[in-house]
A = this chain, B = another copy of it.
Amino acid sequence: MNEKKNVTITDVAKKLKLSVATVSRALHSHPSVKESTRKRVVDMSDKMGFRINEVASSLRSNKSKTIGMIVPKIYMYFQSQIITIIQNELYKYGYNLIILQSNDSLELEKQAVETLMSFRVAGVIAAVTLYTVDFSHFDVFLNNNIPVIFYDRIPDYENDSIKVCGDDKQGGFEATRHLIEVGCKNILHISGPLQCYLYKYRSMGYKMALERSGIPFKEENLVCHELTHENAWSTLVNAFERDPSIDGIFTANDTCAIAALEFCKSHNLRVPNDVKIIGYSNDNRTAITTPSISSVEQFPNEFGIKTVSVLMQALNNEAGAPTKYVIPVKLVRRMST
């Protein structure tokens, strides 16, 4: 025990024969406190090993320095990238991050909202589950003046929330147009559930590209389900059985693009000669397959930085009307196309 435990502001005040109010002000660099006093307080605090008790501070001021985040699953490539940058950014502004996972369960997502309310977080950053269509469980934040930023998986309607999303329609469009440009005439699109904003808009881009090229959209070429390796595999089995002339595959994530590549390899379909493949997110795995897989870069860094800066604006009441911020995407061409 070489360190005193839990030195309080009162201890520092006594030692310096000052009031706690002055110490508090000094620690927050309040303008009315004399510079020499401020310095004495800061020095003594360091010397005594004082650390502000954020819990007491939050309770009293009713302001917390903690941001709550709700995500489906931390380990997903895009999510882990964006969480990384968000934590680093928040740190710069002096905020901390509590992360809760919904595991793509609506029930857990609702519980997460309750938990964050209990912790009186200052703000919330959320990417909802695949199945969240009704966002009203988030209203409690807005009713309590806690800003919410939805990112990536956002509500597909106007409301009081702030949204940061990728340009999913454009991404879907560019991916599909690219396949068409390199010669595909019969393109299968493996999509996630269409009630989810991302997938809805990516598929809209897909349809738009077909239309612009005069290729008729075929209902059976748009398959929607959770984007797992297994699901993609059985979709591909069915699709190629039904129609062996498929010559392009656009998957709405990279896990499925990898599945598609493996499927083609195992069924003697040459990639890119017989079938061309493009994924979405530019997962780091896409660069190392043979052949490497084309994808759509979503710029998680820009995404995260934008999300945090928008949140900070909202916390400072500098935000204007609720807006949707769109992060551009970029086609990354590789050997699979």
A114-B51, A119-B55 given; A83·B87 CB < 8 A: no
Contact A87 B101 (CB under 8 A): yes
The reply on A258 being an interface residue by CB < 8 A is: yes
The residue in chain B whose Cβ has the minimal distance to the Cβ of A284 is: B285
> CA of A262 to CA of B73 in the docked complex: distance in angstroms?
31
The reply on A140 being an interface residue by CB < 8 A is: yes
A99-B99, A114-B51 given; A84·B91 CB < 8 A: no
The reply on A295 being an interface residue by CB < 8 A is: no
Q: What is the CB-to-nearest-CB distance from A78 to chain B, in angstroms, rounded to a whole number?
A: 10
What residues of chain B lie closer than 8 Å to A120, measured between beta carbons? 53-55
> CA of A88 to CA of B115 in the docked complex: distance in angstroms?
14
The reply on A321 being an interface residue by CB < 8 A is: no
The reply on A154 being an interface residue by CB < 8 A is: no
> CA of A258 to CA of B289 in the docked complex: distance in angstroms?
10
Q: What is the CB-to-nearest-CB distance from A301 to chain B, in angstroms, rounded to a whole number?
A: 11
> CA of A331 to CA of B302 in the docked complex: distance in angstroms?
38
The residues in A between 1 and 25 inclusive whose CB is less than 8 angstroms from any CB of B are: 1-3, 5-6
